[in-house]
Amino acid sequence: MKLAFTVEYDGTNFSGFQNQKNAPSIQQAIEKALKEITQTNISINYAGRTDAGVHALCQVFDFETDIERDDTNWVKGINANLPESIAIKSIARVSDDFHSRYTAKERSYSYVIYNSKSKPLFFGGHCHWDSNTINLDTLKKHADMFLGEHDFSSFRSSKCNSNNPIKNISSVEVETYEKFIIVSVKANAFLHNMVRIMTGTLIDIAKGENDYSVADILLKKDRIFAGKTAAAKGLFFLGPRYNSEDNISSPVSNLFDRLRI
């Protein structure tokens, strides 16, 4: 029997989702909670390897088990053994060939920017604060240049070990609410730090600190031409999308509504 779960978390005090040797991770916390309620060692698959400090509203993980519990008991049992910053939201019984990562058709991220002279006192741990003027028209114009299939070599970290830098961006949206700007991106897959470098580049261009266009930077295929890597704390993994028959909750579609900003 294979089970899949959606989970949300505040990544502030974690080294990322994936297990680390000498630092706390989301995966470690979940597998520890599973051991508490099953008395067995369970290794989970997961949809996205979020970095240290990155948050998630609809991460998905799965594992195989022969243990029979009803869905409510699975969710309540795991949550009872997790820290307050991690919460299981739903459960689905999936086919044996389901895999949280490899079955996913698309993934979505949102990046939160707070553009104001004054610092975001209550949201400082969950956004990038920039006190300089960000030209929204310029930001939106260049965000649209990411759409489609491109070589994203200019928008990957030096630690990225992906063999294929070509990704297909199906959607880029820029939304505003008072002093908040949210850049949301959907793609078939992402490179290491890709969304954070994309966002950092858009901010630099919109402030007049980078004279290259996004289209030019894509063609350069060289990280040196892109902007700064935006801080991890402003990034939210909204979740993966699967085929409808997989019965997994859809990614969060609107970060404003979800966070009640």
15-28 pLDDT tens trace: 999 998 889 999 99
At residue 256, does pLDDT exceed 70?
Answer: no
Give the residue carrying structure tokens 């707070």. 114
Q: Is 222:153 a contact under the CB 8 Å cutoff?
A: yes
Asked if 27 and 18 count as a contact pair (C-beta separation under 8 A), the reply is: yes
Per-residue tokens: 90: 């739903």
Residue-averaged pLDDT of the chain: 93
Percent residues over pLDDT 90 in the chain: 85
Please report which confidence band the pLDDT of residue 253 belongs to, taking 50, 70 and 90 as the band edges. low
What is the pLDDT at residue 171? 95
pLDDT for res 5: 95
Confidence of residue 167 (pLDDT cuts 50, 70, 90): very high
Interval 153-165: pLDDT, tens: 999 998 888 899 9
Cβ burial of 189 (10 Å; 0-12, 13-18, 19+) is: middle
Question: How far is the CA of 188 from the CAs of 14, 66, 181, in angstroms?
Answer: 26, 32, 24
**DSSP labels, 177-218:** ETTEEEEEEEES---TTHHHHHHHHHHHHHTT---S-HHHHH
Domain pair 2-103 / 106-237, same fold: yes
- When pLDDT is averaged across residues 168-179 and rounded to a whole number, the result is 94
Over residues 65-75, the mean pLDDT reads 94
58: buried, middle or exposed (CB in 10 Å: 19+, 13-18, 0-12)? buried
Residue spans per domain, the chain = 2-103, 106-237
Contacts 24+ apart (CB under 8 A), 33-39: 33/78, 33/79, 33/80, 33/81, 33/82, 34/63, 34/78, 36/81, 37/77, 37/78, 37/80, 37/81, 38/65, 38/67
Question: Residue 182 has what pLDDT?
Answer: 95
Percent of the chain exceeding pLDDT 70 equals 94
Which sequence positions are flagged as catalytic?
51
**Whether domain 2-103 has CATH 3.30.70.580:** yes
Residue length, the chain? Answer: 261
> Does 246 have pLDDT greater than 80?
no
Q: Give, in order, the Cα–Cα distances in Å from 242 to each of 39, 98, 105, 132, 249.
A: 31, 10, 6, 39, 9
Instruction: Say which CATH architecture domain 106-237 belongs to.
Output: 2-Layer Sandwich (3.30)
